[in-house]
Amino acid sequence: MVNKDYSNVIYRIDAVAAKIYEDFQKTEIPFLNLPTRTKSNIKFDDKLNVWKYGKSITERTAKSLDGAYMLLRTMYMADFIKEMIKINKSSTLREMYYISEGWDLAKFHSQQESNLLAEDLEVITSCMREDFKLRPEEDGARVIGNLTIEEMTRNNTKKKIHCQDDVGDAGYSIPYNVEPEKITFKGIDADFVIAIETGGMFDRLVENGFDTTHRAILVHLKGQPARSTRRFIKRLNERSNIPILVFTDCDPWSYRIFASVAYGAIKTAHISEYLATPASHYLGVTPSDIENYDLPTDNLTKEDVSALKSELTDPRFQDSFWKGEIKLQLKLGKKSEQQALAKYGLDYVTDTYLPEKLAEIGITRK
Amino acid sequence: MTKITAHDLAKKQKEISVAEFFERNKHILGFGNQTRALITSVKEGVDNSLDACEEANILPDVYVEIKNHEDGECKVIVEDNGPGVVKKQIPHIFGRLLYGSRFHAIRQSRGQQGIGISAVVLYGQLTTGKHTKITSKIEENTPAVVTELAIDTNKNRAEVIGTGTAHWDKTCGTRVEISIMADYKRGKRFVYDYLQSTSIVNPHAQIIYKEPDGIEHFFERTSEVLPKKSVEIKPHPYGVELGTLIKMAKHTKARQLNSFLKTEFSSMGDRTTNSAIEKAGLEKTTNPKSMIREEFLSLHKAFKKVKIMAPSTDCLSPIGETLIKRSLKHETKEISPEFIITTSRPPSVFSGQPFQIEVGLVYGGNLPKEETVKILRFANRVPLLYQQGGCVTTQAISSIDWRRYGLNQPSGKGIPSGPAILLVHVSSTLIPFTSESKEAIADVPEIENEIKLAFRGCARKVQHHIHKEVKRAKTREKFDLITKILPEIAKKSAHMLDKPVPVLDPIITKIMDVVWIEDIVEYVKVDREPIQTTLTGGTPEEQREGTITKSRIMVVNYKRNPQKFNLYAIIPEEAVVGEVSPNPSKITSNYIKWNLDTIHPANKIDVNFELAGLEKGDFDENDLYIENINPAYVIGADKWEGD
């Protein structure tokens, strides 16, 4: 594996410690500033074409007990990362959570807490999690299609993998690191990528041979996609310039999956330019499809309704397509699933629905 | 129809013996049903024992045993370590109603009318036909006298069935065994409650209760000090009835009206005597024996028009805040309450009778949160178990708005509900009971008002306590911050940069910006206190074994400027102040005062004091006040409002 140069990372981590240390020396109450990481503080970046954090700032100060704890944990985490870089190890976020057990006062009470702080540290230092030698618990999802990937294996040898011929029906598994030092794309021969929310639908398309009949690369998102999945899609798009089509259930949570693929997620808006693929299209299932295809439905729950309403004020959903569809769904009071298309038979999705939808957005001939 | 003449009627008219009267009216004495009869019997026996012991300056050890027979007959045994009763008096005290030493005396005592124990003897005799057995021993090295007696209900005299002597291990004491018809099954719980309650207001007494199945309950003594003896006082003009006034005048040795008033009544000085006589339109020199009814009437009326000082309150023997708290603490140990607060009111007067109110409040712990609060009512150290609804204490409690103090009370009236026990003790020379069964105190406005004032005082302390706790918890967080977390942040940042750990003091004062006062109370058991010799080399002071309460107060200046102010610590009146450091500027019976030296930023002063004469837990929380500093700067003490 190519040894990465971490000196810049160490410099940035030390800068955090130095800021706190200087506060002490200046007899100021120590504090750190970072962008507010909420829906209200994401702005569209015209240059990068993705959603980034805006100007609003959150202050973490030792004036309050909570703030002081946050600072202490930040220091411990920074020191821990520095140590890992020094001894050339990496850990999962979960491992770090358990390691924090030994941090006495600075220990975390939940992994949620430590994950969020790791993100905070990314924001503060403008580094990426990968720079910190921290990796997520779950790796990325699966890929099937006419695509050749060259992966640097753990034995430091390069291995070429063709994502149809060299893999089983489960497909190629996306590793947690998809940066150029780990994988490169060697050959892509496809017209588009379909990113699919559920494993059931991914397997349906595989079984029906959709990747060969329609020259598609199929990517399984596994619900809310991991960073590496999003980064993989982003790199695939940059490399080949073929369109990314997102195919999910028809409910507010699925729209957020699309938003994180296309625009960037609120939690990771500081690295949207690495993760988001602005050239993504939402293929379906749309609320209009519920009516047009007369799909079986469930009623919207209270949570669904408030999630939809929240999306109406989400800056990422402010175009006429989304406003129209969300309002329609609220009017219908219904939601549906990808697999509801099976109402018309197992081949309906590949023979009828997807070709029609693809034609609708002008991707393939009818 | 033959005409019935007055003479015919006269043949039927005869004296009704008191015993006969009570035979027909046993309900008014508390023997209304078989459950009540059991408790009343125990109560009269125990009251008698406690009174006897206290009068003889003996710390009471009372033993109560109930033997239950299948047919509903119970044998109640009450035994004490009191002075005993001389043989000649036994028949009078136990076999005669309305016989006693306390009826005529104006001072606080449990029983008064001399009905109590003889009524139990009578009840037993009426229901079981059995005699009462009394064992009494009056001094060491003499045998105990055993007397069996019954009451002749026609003559109101004892009928001694037999006497004898027996060996008794005790130095002295009395044991009464009375068989009565009673409902043990139902009365059982009340007997226990009664004895437990009795133990709460009689911390100087030890009570052992043995149930029929052999189980013994032990109510420990929590105070080794006998209650202050109540002094007999003369009647107060405000409380005297016209008839009594006339009777007193008839028997007085005084030859002149003014000396009669001054010597036979309390609170009558020259000025009040003269103005009362003047208002009544009488002469100072009038011989009281020759006064006529109209003159007495105008004198009686004149009393009310003159401002007369309240009677002396020596005749009262309240329990005291510390002892009530200690008893409550002891009896509620299993509940582990959050706090116990007690308040004593100063003595007051109704119709010339001195009285005093003491209240207590137990809060939190395992007490049920949904049920109405338990009310413990006491009159002259005797628990009141029945007729709670008709008692002035309940009335007073119901009229307080408890919602402000964290208890539930729909519409702010009635008995509140919540995790609390309320205690009321009324002591008086004359408890105005609603009936002869002495179960509820009558609605006397003065008493009701005093109870309300006492509970309000108590509730204020509760509020103060809660407020203080909340404030402390908040600032303790900050304290954690500056003592633990901030130094860690500094250490870690220094470690990462490989630099020396920065100085924190200026930042700590910036974050805290207060004067922080924290205290702890500890108890040290001393087997034998070190004997202190006086400076002049005189005789060593003798000291008892006991507990030393040590209070340590830490005052830290987390302000950015030097601070100089005075500190007050409230101490219980019963406490004896031991070592105090630094040197106090003043010690009174209620507080210790320090003029503290200037404290510089980030510096601290330790203040310590020791209290003797208290049990462990009597003093469990410091009450601190400050002076000559903005109270908003200080956490852990309040503004001193003056003595």
From the candidates A11, A24, A85, which should be mutated to test the interface with B, based on the most B CB atoms within 10 A?
A: A24
Which of A13, A17, A105 is opposite residue B485, by nearest beta carbon? Answer: A105
Of B106, B121, B98, B105, residue with least CA distance to B44: B121
Share of chain B above pLDDT 70, in %: 92
Is residue A85 in some structural domain? yes
Do A149 and A107 belong to one domain?
no
Do A275 and A153 belong to one domain?
yes
From the candidates B496, B497, B512, which should be mutated to test the interface with A, based on the most A CB atoms within 10 A?
A: B496
Please tell me the distance from the alpha carbon of residue B594 to that of residue B606, in angstroms, as a whole number: 12
CATH number for the domain spanning A201: value is 3.40.1360.10
Residue B493 parent element (H or E): helix B486-497
Do A122 and A237 belong to one domain?
no
Beta bridge partners, A284, equal A247
How is residue B138 written in tokens?
């009056």
Q: What is the pLDDT of residue B511?
A: 82
Is A31 strand, coil or helix? strand
Is residue A168 in some structural domain? yes
Chain A's closest residue to B505, CA to CA, is A27
Please tell me the distance from the alpha carbon of residue A138 to that of residue B64, in angstroms, as a whole number: 75
Do A59 and A117 belong to one domain?
yes
How is residue B214 written in tokens?
């052999």
Asked if pLDDT for residue B605 goes beyond 90, the answer is yes
Instruction: State whether A29 and B510 contact (CB < 8 Å).
Output: yes
Q: Tell me the shortest Cα–Cα distance from A24 to chain B, in angstroms.
A: 6
- The beta-carbon contacts of A149-158 under 8 Å, at least 24 apart in sequence, are A149/A183, A149/A184, A149/A185, A149/A186, A150/A183, A150/A184, A150/A185, A150/A186, A151/A175, A151/A182, A151/A183, A152/A1, A152/A2, A152/A181, A152/A182, A152/A183, A154/A1, A156/A1
Is residue A283 in some structural domain? yes
Asked if pLDDT for residue B536 goes beyond 60, the answer is no
Chain B's closest residue to A71, CA to CA, is B489
Chain B's closest residue to A67, CA to CA, is B481
Asked if pLDDT for residue B635 goes beyond 80, the answer is yes
State pLDDT tens for residues B23-33.
Answer: 677 777 778 88
Chain B's closest residue to A31, CA to CA, is B489
Asked if pLDDT for residue B336 goes beyond 90, the answer is no
Domain count, chain A: 2
Task: Assess contact for B447 and B372: CB atoms under 8 A.
Answer: no
Do A304 and A239 belong to one domain?
yes
Please tell me the distance from the alpha carbon of residue A208 to that of residue A222, in angstroms, as a whole number: 20
Domain stops at, among A87, A102, A135: A135
Q: Which residues of A touch B483 (CB under 8 A)?
A: none
Is A76 among the residues known to form the active site?
no
How is residue B594 written in tokens?
């320090």
Do A165 and A286 belong to one domain?
yes
Catalytic choice (A69, A98, A344, A348) = A98
Q: What is the pLDDT of residue A140?
A: 67
Do A188 and A65 belong to one domain?
no
Is residue A66 in some structural domain? yes
Do A89 and A154 belong to one domain?
no
Sign of the Cα pseudo-torsion (A160, A163, A167, A170, in order): positive
Model confidence at B305, pLDDT cuts 50, 70, 90, reads confident
Provide mean pLDDT across the span B420-441.
Answer: 87
Amino acid at B569: A
Please tell me the distance from the alpha carbon of residue A220 to that of residue A199, in angstroms, as a whole number: 7
Model confidence at B394, pLDDT cuts 50, 70, 90, reads very high
Residues 474-533 of B with CB under 8 A from A: 477-478, 480-481, 484-486, 488-490, 492-497, 499, 502-504, 506-507, 510-511
Amino acid at B573: E
Task: Assess contact for B522 and B550: CB atoms under 8 A.
Answer: yes
State pLDDT tens for residues B468-503.
Answer: 777 777 777 777 888 888 999 999 999 999 999 988
Do A171 and A310 belong to one domain?
yes
Task: Assess contact for A193 and A243: CB atoms under 8 A.
Answer: yes
Q: How many CB pairs under 8 A join A and B?
A: 71
Question: Which domains, and CATH codes, for chain B?
Answer: 18-219 (3.30.565.10), 237-305 (1.10.8.50), 336-463 (3.30.230.10), 503-639 (2.60.40.1170)
Amino acid at B577: V
Q: Which residues of B touch A121 (CB under 8 A)?
A: none
Asked if pLDDT for residue B180 goes beyond 70, the answer is yes
CATH number for the domain spanning A18: value is 1.10.10.10
Provide mean pLDDT across the span B207-227.
Answer: 89
The parent domain of residue A34 ranges over 7-135
Of B530, B620, B609, residue with least CA distance to B576: B609
Q: Collect all residues with Cβ–Cβ distance below 8 Å to B613 and sequence separation of at least 6.
A: B546, B574, B575, B576
Instruction: State whether A29 and B494 contact (CB < 8 Å).
Output: no
Select the more confidently predicted residue: B21 or A271: A271
- The beta-carbon contacts of B405-414 under 8 Å, at least 24 apart in sequence, are B405/B459, B405/B462, B405/B463, B406/B363, B406/B462, B406/B466, B407/B373
Select the more confidently predicted residue: A194 or B539: A194
Residue A216 parent element (H or E): strand A216-220
Asked if pLDDT for residue B538 goes beyond 60, the answer is no
Is residue A2 in some structural domain? no
Is residue A293 in some structural domain? yes
Do A205 and A264 belong to one domain?
yes
Domain stops at, among A89, A117, A135: A135
Least confident of A267-276, B209-218, B313-322: B313-322
Q: Tell me the shortest Cα–Cα distance from B472 to chain A, in angstroms.
A: 14
Do A237 and A352 belong to one domain?
yes
Is residue A148 in some structural domain? yes
Phi-psi region of A262 (alpha: psi -120 to 50; beta: other; left: phi over 0): alpha
Of B328, B229, B242, B235, residue with least CA distance to B280: B242
Asked if pLDDT for residue B643 goes beyond 60, the answer is yes
Which of B492, B503, B511 is opposite residue A62, by nearest beta carbon? Answer: B511
What is the crossing angle of helices A65-87 and B486-497, to 10°?
A: 30
Provide mean pLDDT across the span B337-346.
Answer: 88
Model confidence at B98, pLDDT cuts 50, 70, 90, reads low
Q: Which residues of A touch B506 (CB under 8 A)?
A: 27
Chain B's closest residue to A63, CA to CA, is B511
Q: What is the pLDDT of residue B530?
A: 46
Q: What is the pLDDT of residue B534?
A: 42
Domain stops at, among A101, A118, A135: A135
Q: What is the pLDDT of residue B537?
A: 42
Sign of the Cα pseudo-torsion (A300, A303, A304, A306, in order): positive
Per-residue tens of pLDDT for chain A, all 366 residues: 445 678 888 999 999 999 999 999 998 889 998 888 888 888 888 888 888 888 888 888 888 888 899 999 999 999 999 999 888 888 888 899 999 888 888 888 888 888 888 988 988 888 888 888 888 876 668 999 999 999 988 888 999 999 999 998 889 999 888 888 889 999 899 999 999 999 999 999 999 999 999 999 999 998 889 888 999 999 999 998 899 999 999 999 999 999 999 988 888 888 888 889 988 999 989 999 999 999 999 999 999 999 999 999 888 898 899 999 999 999 999 999 999 999 999 999 999 999 999 998 887 644
Provide mean pLDDT across the span B51-67.
Answer: 91
Task: Assess contact for B422 and B395: CB atoms under 8 A.
Answer: no
Residue B517 parent element (H or E): strand B515-526
Do A123 and A151 belong to one domain?
no
Least confident of B17-31, B536-550, B621-635: B536-550
Is residue A366 in some structural domain? no
